Amino acid sequence: MNNDDVTGAAGTQPGPSEADHAWRLWQLSDLTTPWALRVVVTLGVADLLVDGPVDAALLAKRTGADSGALARLLRHLAARGVFFEVAPGLFELNDAARCLRAGHPSRMHEWLSMDGAAGRMDQAYAQLLSSVRTGGAAYAEMHGRSFYDDLEADPELHRSFDELMSQDSVDYGSMVDHLDWSGVRHVVDVGGGQGELLVYLLARHPHLRGSLFELAGTAEQAPALLATNGVSDRCEVVTGSFFDEVRPSGADTYLLASVLHNWNDSDATEILRRTAQAAGPGGRIVVFEGCVDDTTDQSWATHLDLKMLVLLGGRERTAEEFQDLARDAGLSVAGVTRTSRGPFALPFAVMELVVDDHS
């Protein structure tokens, strides 16, 4: 018997077997670990282990859980590399588990806790089949009302979501630093949350005046944030919907930061059109969006794309697709800058658009 009989004609190792593929599919499809992580975060277990190992019975008492079930949960996670079981029923943090503490820079706690907006969003994946069949959002199928209606109906849920989004606004800081603000006097952040991005901009450019345009519920905390950061004298809060009218009109620059991916093509075009109407002919609109291309790691892009579909009926797009939306809204593309955002360096694009004179 020669080597080719064992390793293949070219001397290479044989590829994965059918059993290997089946095992990988099982690992990809199994829901045990994803939900175990969400449960342990919701119970706040990682924060209870900061001073050293604690046994499952005491953890159960402090979290209101069943000690046997909690031990089994933690044992499963330890087997997956999250937590250490240093003795039977005795658990401690490892490097992975430390990321699950409240306030950790990774923000894993905030994204996984089922007590917050992110956890409620994740539950909508149970209705992914509906989204694939209809091409629209499935959040209402799970929770009885659309995503934004759900936020408006529950102030605590709204607060949780706003906190998640506030860090996203801070992450845009390095992107706006690359833009030329010397000739700009008035900037409007359309759908700008609680004003974090405007705070960043106004603090670095004392000549700028800002306007935050946002729904009333989201903008509720903005005045306090602006005052705390000493820019309230240069920034106004204007409430309304960008599907009705973007205000104020006539500013030098309008910002749209991670707004368009929340919406389908028709709605995204309408948002751009309304913003263009406010900016007027020759006006400037700057769009910050995650951007998919042939060089992008498709795993993050496809993940976010499905998430936008399930939650909102939105989608991730390529730079060319964004440019098509812009043209449909009466805008010309003045420039596209590739960059990255956040601790995971997600691929982003900064697109500078100009309102056509005939718009």
Half-sphere exposure of 324 (CA within 13 A, CB side): 7
Instruction: Decide: helix, strand or coil at residue 177.
Output: coil
Residue 3, helix vs strand vs coil:
helix
Q: Which residues have CB under 8 Å from 95's CB, separation 6+?
A: none
Q: Which of 104, 207, 261, 358 is catalytic?
A: 261
- Read off the tokens for 177: 């630093």
Q: Which long-range CB contacts under 8 A does 83-87 form with residues at least 24 apart?
A: 83/49, 84/53, 86/53, 87/53
Rounded CA-CA distance 350/328 in Å is: 19
Tell how strand 84-87 and strand 317-318 pair up.
Answer: unpaired
Helix crossing, 265-279 with 319-328: angle to 10°?
60
Residue 275 CA to residue 149 CA, distance in Å, equals: 23
| 261 catalytic per annotation | yes
Secondary structure class of 358 (helix, strand, coil) = coil
Listed in sequence order, the DSSP H helices in the chain are: 3-7, 18-29, 32-43, 45-48, 56-63, 67-79, 95-98, 108-112, 117-123, 128-134, 139-143, 147-153, 155-171, 173-176, 196-204, 216-219, 222-228, 265-279, 298-312, 319-328
Task: Write out the catalytic residue numbers.
Answer: 261
